[in-house]
Amino acid sequence: MNMPKSLISIKDFSKDEILHILNVAEEFETCREQNFLAGKVIACLFFEPSTRTRLSFESAVNRLGARVIGFPDNRNTSQAKGETLEDTMRIISNYVDMIVMRHPQAGAAAIAASVASVPVVNAGDGPNEHPTQTLLDLYSIRKTQGNLENLTVNMVGDLKYGRTVHSLIEALHYFHPHFIMTAPQELRMPREYLEFLEKKGVTFEETDRIEEHLNDCDILYMTRIQQERFPEPEEYAKVKDVYKLTASMLEGAKPNLKILHPLPRVGEIATDVDATPYAYYFQQAGNGMYVRMAIISYLLGYR
Ligand code: CP
């Protein structure tokens, strides 16, 4: 069987494909009423909570003229009776033209794609990857900085379990970045990603002090400590309040600095930051709809 092209990892897209998605998203931002997918049906299957990803995907499907089926949690599906993920995906792929899926298990989207007869989009698989978030992050970076080249990107927080930073590293490596990785010892970037950067010749430095690099970065990528991924509650309690960014900490920031966050935030960005010219996380989430319209169009062979 010829497998349809899916988006499971950001590595599934070349640099040219990434730039193509950003360009098409830009077009959709200028005109978001598109109806060229009338007659298509897309499944949005969320086995784990979501606000932004699910609703921006559903909105994207609607704006493209297609229809959505799916569920926001799997308690009322036959998985509750013990059906395997593979069988669930085999069945649903008979009904739809594309599957968008979030799942708590790393590798679940790849399993789905291995049995589905339609494209599968990974909307987050446990601590592993979140490639559509990465594409909207790149879109937001390019929109605010004018280009993607030679930027200093400071990633702060949970770099161990935070899947968005893993995908972001892999995508940004094409554009000659310098990475600062700010995390407590327990939540440092996994070795495999550091080795990836070393292999690609991308420079990076690690610190556990948030104050150290606030004035020398172009992008400050804040992340939530991922409570749901910790094996022991005591381990989470030790690090849950490790960083809190406030407006006064940004007094020496570069004028072009933008603060991104995949959201939700739970205390790592104080609300007084929202009124600074550096805050961009709410617009970033808004950009997600255009980027997801572009991803759907591309994988279905339209744009
Ligand atoms: N950024 C993100 O994935 O948000 P949700 O969990 O609300 O989808």
From ligand 1's centre to the CA of 212, what distance in Å?
28
Residue to probe by mutation, ligand 1, list 50, 134, 164, 166, most atoms within 8 Å of CB: 50
From ligand 1's centre to the CA of 74, what distance in Å?
17
From ligand 1's centre to the CA of 122, what distance in Å?
12
Secondary structure of residue 181 in the 3-state scheme? strand
| Residue 90 within a domain | yes
Nearest residue (by CA) to ligand 1, atom 1, is 262
| Residue 4 within a domain | no
Q: From the CB of 284, is ligand 1 less than 6 Å away?
A: no
Residue to probe by mutation, ligand 1, list 73, 263, 284, most atoms within 8 Å of CB: 263
My answer on whether 138 and 124 are in the same domain is: no
Q: Report the alpha-carbon angle 158-137-22, nearest 5.
A: 155
Give me the domain span that covers residue 243.
131-285
My answer on whether 125 and 159 are in the same domain is: no
| Residue 69 within a domain | yes
Provide the phi-psi class of 267: left if phi over 0, else alpha when psi is between -120 and 50, else beta. Answer: left
First to last CA, the chain: 24
| Residue 3 within a domain | no
> 242-261, pLDDT tens digit by residue?
999 999 999 999 999 999 99
| Residue 181 within a domain | yes
Q: Report the alpha-carbon angle 290-17-132, nearest 5.
A: 45
pLDDT, residue 1, reads 58
pLDDT, residue 235, reads 93
My answer on whether 148 and 201 are in the same domain is: yes
My answer on whether 147 and 271 are in the same domain is: yes
Q: From the CB of 53, is ligand 1 less than 6 Å away?
A: yes
My answer on whether 94 and 181 are in the same domain is: no
Q: From the CB of 50, is ligand 1 less than 6 Å away?
A: yes
From ligand 1's centre to the CA of 50, what distance in Å?
5
pLDDT, residue 185, reads 95
Q: From the CB of 263, is ligand 1 less than 6 Å away?
A: yes
| Interacting residues of 74 by C-beta distance below 8 A, sequence separation 6+ | 45, 46, 47, 80
From ligand 1's centre to the CA of 2, what distance in Å?
32
My answer on whether 53 and 142 are in the same domain is: no
Q: Show the low-confidence residues of the chain (pLDDT under 50).
A: none
| Residue 2 within a domain | no
My answer on whether 46 and 109 are in the same domain is: yes
My answer on whether 90 and 18 are in the same domain is: yes
| Residue 85 within a domain | yes
How many domains does the structure of the chain reveal? 2
Say if residue 68 is exposed, middle or buried (CB neighbours under 10 Å; 0-12, 13-18, 19+). middle
| Residue 272 within a domain | yes
My answer on whether 85 and 175 are in the same domain is: no
My answer on whether 192 and 214 are in the same domain is: yes
My answer on whether 59 and 163 are in the same domain is: no
Secondary structure of residue 38 in the 3-state scheme? coil
This model's pTM is above 0.85 = yes
My answer on whether 258 and 137 are in the same domain is: yes
- The CATH number assigned to the domain holding 258 equals 3.40.50.1370
The count of residues in the chain is 303
CA–CA dist 181, 184 (Å, integer): 10
Atom of ligand 1 nearest to the CA of 51: 7
pLDDT, residue 3, reads 79
Q: Nearest-CA neighbor of 193 among 218, 220, 173, 216?
A: 173
Nearest residue (by CA) to ligand 1, atom 4, is 52
